[in-house]
Amino acid sequence: MSAKNQPITINGITVNPGEQQVIDLPVAKLYTHANVSIPLQVICSKKPGPRLFISAAIHGDELNGVEIVRRLVKTSALKRLSGTLIVIPIVNVFGIIQHSRYLPDRRDLNRSFPGSKRGSLAARLAHIFLHEVVRQCDFGIDLHTGAIHRSNLPQIRANLDDPETKELSEAFSVPVLLNSNLRDGSLRQVADEHGVKVLLYEAGEALRFDELSIRAGVRGILSVMRSLKMLPQTKAQKKRSEPFIARSSNWERAPESGILRSIAPLGARVNKGDLLGVIADPSDLFDPTEYEVKAQCSGLVIGKSNIPLVNEGDALFHIARFEDIKEAAASVEAFQNTAENTPNPVFDDQTLI
C-alpha cells in the first residue's frame, strides 16, 4: 500500500489527501425545472487506507440511515481517519421528497442497478451512483429499515459465505447476521460484480427514527472502520461478542383478514407452535371469530408488522432460525439493554469513540 493516500475525483471535483469536500452529484430536474442532485461528503485522509462508502435512503422512506450518517460525520473519531470515507445521506432524493420508497415512476432503485445513461429515471440514477461512487470504493455499508408499518430488529444482511464479508459483518457488532443471497438489480449485487464488498444494515421502520437502531448503526459503522484499520482499534473492539448467524428465515402470514393483536415483540424467542398473535373478525364486536397466528418454526422474531389491520396473506412476523436459539435470544436481550442504557449520543459523541 502507498505511504500516502490517493486523491479521488467525483463529478469532476478532485478531493486531495488531507481535504474534505461536500459534492452535489447532479441527477435530473423536477418538472418544475428545479435541479435535483445527490448530496455527498468526501473525507480524504492524508494517511493511506481503504475507500468506504456509507449510503442511506436508497429507499426514500427509510430515514434512520439519514440520521446515522449525520451523527457519524460529527464524531471526533473521524479525526483519526485513514483512507477515504464517502457518506451519502440521501441517494433517492425523489423518494425523500415524496415520502416514498420508490421513484416517481414507481420503480425500486435497489432493483435498478447497474442502470443506464438513457434508461428510466431509476436506471439513470443507479448508473450515476454506481460509476461516480460505488466503483471507486473497496467497501460499502448500505443503510435500510423495514418497509412502511414494519419494524426490523438491528441486523446485518450479507454474503456470509465470503470470508472477508463475514468478518466485516461480525465487526458491525449487532447480535443477528442473516446470510442473504444477492438479488438481481440490487446495489449489493452490482457492487459484488465490481469487487466491492457491501454490508446491508436493516433496523427500525420506514418514516420513523428509532433511537436504538440509530445508535447501533453509528457504533457498527465505526466498529467496521476499526476492523478495516481506517480508525485505531479500541479495547471495546477487541472484546466484542460473537454475533449469531441465521442461515434461513421465513415470514408467518395472516391466515385471515381482520384486526391483529400482536403478542410476540421484536427479538422474542419463539418455539414452533407458539402463539404470535390473534386476528379478530371486526364485523362481530360482541362475539368475534378469532384466528391464531402460530410459529411454524423455532427462532427469533427479527421483523414484524406494526399495523393491526391485516389482509389474508400479509406478512406479520419474520422469524430467523439459529442453531442455538437460547444463546441467540440472550445475545439480543443483552444488546438491547446495552443500547437502551447508553447515554444519548445526539449531542455528545464521546460514547462513540
Residue 353's pLDDT is: 42
Residue 142's pLDDT is: 98
User: Helix, strand, or coil here: 259?
Assistant: strand
Residue 46's pLDDT is: 97
Sequence ranges of the domains in the chain: 8-245, 247-322
Mean pLDDT over 327-331 rounds to 77
C-alpha–C-alpha distance, residues 207 and 330, integer Å: 29
Residue 241's pLDDT is: 65
More confident residue, 178 or 2: 178
C-alpha–C-alpha distance, residues 225 and 223, integer Å: 5
C-alpha–C-alpha distance, residues 242 and 252, integer Å: 28
User: How many residues would you count in the chain?
Assistant: 353
Mean pLDDT over 28-47 rounds to 93
C-alpha–C-alpha distance, residues 34 and 305, integer Å: 37
Strand order across the beta sheet in which 309-310 lies: 290-294, 275-280, 258-262, 309-310
C-alpha R_g of the chain: 21
Pick from 249, 78, 239, 235: which is nearest to 173 by CA? 239
Roughly how many angstroms between the first and final C-alpha of the chain, as a whole number?
A: 26
Q: How many CB atoms are located within 10 Å of the residue 35 CB?
A: 10
CATH superfamily of 8-245: Zn peptidases (3.40.630.10)
Mode of pairing for the β-strands spanning 299-305 and 315-321 = antiparallel
More confident residue, 94 or 242: 94
Cβ pair 101, 206 in contact under 8 A: yes
C-alpha–C-alpha distance, residues 108 and 129, integer Å: 14
**pLDDT-wise least confident of 76-90, 129-143, 287-301, 336-350:** 336-350
Going by pLDDT thresholds of 50, 70 and 90, the confidence category of residue 130 is very high
Mean pLDDT over 273-296 rounds to 89
Q: What is the helix (H) or strand (E) element at residue 79, kind and residue range? A: none
160-203 pLDDT tens trace: 999 999 999 999 999 899 998 889 999 999 999 999 999 999 99
Cβ pair 196, 140 in contact under 8 A: yes
Cβ pair 176, 300 in contact under 8 A: yes
Q: What is the pTM of this model?
A: 0.93
80 pLDDT higher than 50? yes
Has domain 247-322 been given CATH number 2.40.50.100?
A: yes
Query: How many Cα atoms within 13 Å fall on the side-chain side of residue 14?
Result: 4
C-alpha–C-alpha distance, residues 61 and 95, integer Å: 7
Q: How many CB atoms are located within 10 Å of the residue 291 CB?
A: 16
C-alpha–C-alpha distance, residues 147 and 251, integer Å: 14
